Structure 1
Amino acid sequence: MAISEPASDQRRAFVLDLPQRLVCLLDGASASHGRASLLLVVVALVAFLPGFFQISPIDRDEARFAQATKQMVESGNFVEIRFHTQARNKKPVGIHWLQAASVTAGEAVIGPSALTSIWLYRLPSLLAAVGAVLLTYWTALVFLSRRGALLAGLLMASCVLLGVEARLAKTDAVLLLTIIACFGALARAYVRPRAERTGDFRLAFIFWTAMAAGILVKGPMTPLFVGLAIVALAVVERSGSVLRPLRPLVGLVWCLLLVLPWFVAIWFATKGAFYQHAVGVDMLGKVTEGQEGHWGPPGTYFLAVWGTFWPSVVLAAMAAPFAWRARRDEKVRFLLCWLVPTWLLFEIAATKLPHYVLPLYPALAILGVMAIERGALARAGSRLAGLVWLWPVLAILVSLGLGGAYLWFGSGFGLAAWPLLALAIALLWMAARAFPRVGPEGAVLTAIAGALVLYTAVYQAMLPQMRALWISERLAAVVKEQGCPAANVSSFPYQEPSLVFLVGTDINYVLPNEAAALMKKGGCSLAFMDERFTGNFEKHAAAHGLKYHAVATISGFVYNGGRLTAITVYRSDDAPAGSGAAR
């Protein structure tokens, strides 16, 4: 007669089985660079693709970048950057060129609808985010075994902040790609013995080409991240020989050849206004004052990293004592010079946005895995083991918060999301339970699996269905239904960048009296009026003798202003009316 195992033993075996299987998967994938790269690409796509095609344009930065690119494609002017009726002299042109190439290729396949298909504008960010994961692996090979480098790449692939940036049509994922490429080349130059630090054209080409690309994407940010690390290395080594393999003189000339043509062209095109605003207002303003309400005290990034680098931040935090003890180790010193000076600078700067420190996260990932490979986490014992419960605790908090938001803003009950949220929490609980039994690798891999499930629930099953958030998308649907040209559409005071992108560049952002005057000109015309200003609009419409009627009311939540709104869509009676109802 067979004796059954006690229930507690069965549960323990279940908790340990998945982490051990994931460790075996890591072992198998690290057998070759090809297998490792394939696994990283697959995991990155599983992390980044949910919601990529479905989520509406996000206000305000993403929609501004996308609209500026759309106007480039519409006008054929690929030098000047404009948003709606104004010059957008903030960031260089690199991201717009990448997005324009994506949209132009999309037009050839899907036709004119490519211009308002936000996923095409996001494609450079997605590809750059996947590339950043692969370059984290490439850079980590300088410091870790192939197996460890693969784990470091997986830590970046599952990072919350990188997943957000992969889904946004703006600069930061591409900037990250350029910075990691620079650090990967710099690390290979640094670990050489000083006597062997001679010119290496391959490394120099990678470093300076990536530097030029970063400058074209976000101006001084790539030189800032890399330059501070080089200065720190030169100080601690009392030598600048780390730059010799990178051929600085020849490389600088190459970098200038790549970037100067556009910088000269934009000088003449804007008569110097681009530099006056981009440097004098945008860049310096972020250093001295919190622009657009994004101020934060020193320590803001230290607090934010617990959410933005989740779930990998647990491993990075547990590795902190190891990094301090091993700070004189050559490889640890390089990673600290990558991480510490720039982190301190951003903590001091007035403007605080979470994505500013994203290029420092690969160093955290590599340090975390280095602590595993050198046995530091095993020696740390139970003093830090409690941190692993941040995996399920934060997942529960996110699930509760987003679940409540979904019930308020969503369409239907969202049955698909709840099982996924439950599975994610179960996996993250399993990861925390497994940590002392199977070790950090199996626990971290299980946490990554739980994070991937959580991202699918949030981005694929929940956010696209929160219709109250996507006001511009619903207003654009009314315009399409009514068949009015963008030039005959006006809006007040709801004037988000996403509305320009989805309705059309010619939309009018005007006051209620101007909206009434525009509708009086005849033809198919619409006016969007917030409920606070409908009386004002109706008064001016009466003064103009305008005949009109309401065709729809769009109720929702303006997440930038944090307020509920109801927008009435008015249509002139001078043209045949389409159907319309409250949406």
Structure 2
Amino acid sequence: MAISEPASGQRRAFVLDLPRRFVRILDGASARHGRASLLLVAVSLLAFLPGFFQLSPIDRDEARFAQATKQMLESGNFVDIRFHTQARHKKPIGIYWLQAATVKAGEAVIGPSARGSIWLYRLPSLFAAIGAVLLTYWTALVFVSRRGALLAGLMMASCVLLGVEARLAKTDAVLLFTIMASFGALARAYALPAAGRKGDLKLAAIFWTALAAGILVKGPMAPLFVGLTVAALAIVERSGAFLKPLKPLAGLAWCLLLVLPWFVAIYYVTGGAFYQHAVGVDMLGKVTEGQEGHWGPPGTYFLAAWGTFWPAVVLVAMAVPFAWRARRDEKVRFLLCWVVPSWIAFEVAATKLPHYVLPLYPALAILAVMALERGALARPGSRLAALARFWPVFAIIVSLGLGFGFFWLGSGFGLAAWPLLLLAIVLLWMAALAFPKGGAEGAFLTAVCGALVLYVAVYQAMLPQMRALWISERLAAVVREQGCPAENVASFPYQEPSLVFLVGTKINYGLPNEAAALLKKGGCALAFIDDRFTPSFEKHAATLELKYHAVATISGFAYNGGRPVAITVFRSDEAAQ
């Protein structure tokens, strides 16, 4: 007993001392804006870069965006948007222009191969995600201290959902960046005393330019978030005078000047088809029915936030009672008007995707920091403090799920990643144990460190090695080995967008008889046929008296269809016609 007690005391002291060390780092970084920004960029890179260069194109949205940009570069048409052989009339042009710019810059450095490098298409998302973290800090300065603003920025930098979007060549990280710039300007205009509210050119320029950029990236989404907040504030304030610093009339004219040229051009280029599909099918369809199987009942986003806003969601949950008690406070009221109307609107809409509510997470982070600074989390009740146990539990669930995935997908147990996963779980347990006595700040910072280790294990060590998932990448490798051009490759029924991106725009998606006819033309020609349809292909091949042979069989797991697949690669033995 005399031996165990000191050992136990040393362990307890270590658990409590580590969070305190992290708090001292937070104190030092918050002394100056430059230090705070540097820390946020460093943590963002640690959170977002693992797997950024290694992960294969993700189906289906990322691959569609990247391929559409690739075709813009191939065709030189930077107005209309095409994917493979079809028009892609869903989202405006903004993200494609940004991706095209980064790929063109990449071509200047690494040559023509840049167009096939998915990480170049992801750079706008990475830069925007880091920018959104910094803008969270900038916006939070209106509501909390510099130290608190830094903490809010760290909540976004470590956020699971933002980390996912930072790695995907699509719109949502960029949209978040534009929305945060608008909200930062709006918050500053709102915070001005009534007597000092006059036109502010700098704030107005930031607000309306960011709003225009958001429209060019994702149409009505940026105006929706900002507009619902403005409407809610005008209702509770019984006045819209807080908009005066933003120069509404001149600003709206500037916004229209920025966005109208492309919207007019796309109308004439497509004969109005873009608007018929983007508004009539895509946008309205998501409101009235769950598109592409993404339906969910009200409450879906509340449940999803426990995973997508991890690890900050623990402190956000603890701050809810404070937000209710302080709802009449001017600053709290602004944040609630930011969150509540949009959250309700998305819960009511039929289509549910986790990233839709991402622009609300910075407001929740700032609200949690306000509760912390005002002492609402200093001595949480036992029930609230128990929420800290969610930090390690989430990591354990992820670790077990990935371990099972490695085993099931034929990649073993991923032993190289388990030390990292174990370290992450230990850090998160330390955060949970330190919370009651070590304070919310130190506990959360420890949880952030655990989260960073977890992201390295998941994105860098595990996912890239799960080869069974990356079917398109393996099929594209066969094409390179055989040396066949994309126009002489056919695939059925596996026709994921990533295959177009990796093999080439001219790949043929058709039926088994069309694949057999393509091989009959002779030369270097390949057909990717799922084993379920091999008999049909063989029947048509016999009818054509086709000479061919199998060169490979790619087995894997189609994560979009949720089923195992086996695809045989057939090569023509016919002489070129």
Normalising to structure 1: TM-score of the pair? 0.97
How do 1:272-421 and structure 2 match up within 5 A?
272-409=272-409, 411-421=411-421
1:524 counterpart = 2:524: yes
Q: Which runs of 4+ in 1 moved over 3 A?
A: 2-5, 410-413
| Contact 2:417–2:462 under 8 Å retained in 1 | yes
1:18-69 deviations in whole A, cap 9, x for unaligned?
A: 1011000000000100000000000000000000000000000000000000
Partners of 1:380 and 1:17 lie apart in 2 by: 20
Which residue in the other structure is 1:262 paired with? 262
How do 1:362-511 and structure 2 match up within 5 A?
362-409=362-409, 411-511=411-511
Partners of 1:192 and 1:272 lie apart in 2 by: 43
After TM superposition, give the deviation of residue 414 of structure 1 in Å: 2.5
After TM superposition, give the deviation of residue 378 of structure 1 in Å: 1.8
Which residue in the other structure is 1:579 paired with? none
After TM superposition, give the deviation of residue 111 of structure 1 in Å: 1.4
SS at match of 1:570: strand
Letter in 2 for 1:537: F
Partners of 2:112 and 2:526 lie apart in 1 by: 23
Letter in 1 for 2:56: S
Which residue in the other structure is 1:18 paired with? 18
Partners of 1:482 and 1:268 lie apart in 2 by: 43
Compared CA separation, residues 510 and 53, structure 1 to 2 (3 A): same
Which residue in the other structure is 1:180 paired with? 180
1:242 counterpart = 2:242: yes
Which residue in the other structure is 2:574 paired with? 574
Letter in 2 for 1:30: S
After TM superposition, give the deviation of residue 416 of structure 1 in Å: 2.1
Q: Percent identity?
A: 82
After TM superposition, give the deviation of residue 383 of structure 1 in Å: 3.3
SS at match of 2:566: strand
Which residue in the other structure is 2:219 paired with? 219
SS at match of 2:398: helix
SS at match of 1:557: strand
State the aligned residue count. 575
Letter in 2 for 1:38: L
| Contact 2:546–2:574 under 8 Å retained in 1 | no
Partners of 1:340 and 1:99 lie apart in 2 by: 33
Partners of 1:190 and 1:16 lie apart in 2 by: 40
Partners of 1:566 and 1:137 lie apart in 2 by: 49
1:127 counterpart = 2:116: no
Partners of 1:162 and 1:575 lie apart in 2 by: 52
Root-mean-square deviation (CA, aligned residues, Å) is 1.2
Gaps in structure 2 of 5+ consecutive residues: none
Partners of 1:42 and 1:447 lie apart in 2 by: 16
Partners of 1:201 and 1:129 lie apart in 2 by: 26
| Contact 1:410–1:462 under 8 Å retained in 2 | no
Which residue in the other structure is 1:37 paired with? 37
After TM superposition, give the deviation of residue 5 of structure 1 in Å: 7.0
Gaps in structure 1 of 5+ consecutive residues: 577-583
SS at match of 2:377: helix
Letter in 2 for 1:442: G
SS at match of 2:532: coil
Partners of 2:232 and 2:402 lie apart in 1 by: 42
Partners of 1:346 and 1:361 lie apart in 2 by: 14
Normalising to structure 2: TM-score of the pair? 0.98
Partners of 2:37 and 2:552 lie apart in 1 by: 51
Compared CA separation, residues 399 and 575, structure 1 to 2 (3 A): farther
Letter in 2 for 1:471: I
Partners of 1:551 and 1:522 lie apart in 2 by: 16
Which residue in the other structure is 1:27 paired with? 27
1:54-112 deviations in whole A, cap 9, x for unaligned?
A: 00000000000000000000000000000000000000000000000011111111112
SS at match of 1:550: strand
Letter in 1 for 2:471: I
How do 1:74-93 and structure 2 match up within 5 A?
74-93=74-93
Compared CA separation, residues 527 and 65, structure 1 to 2 (3 A): same
Letter in 2 for 1:211: L
| Contact 1:410–1:465 under 8 Å retained in 2 | no
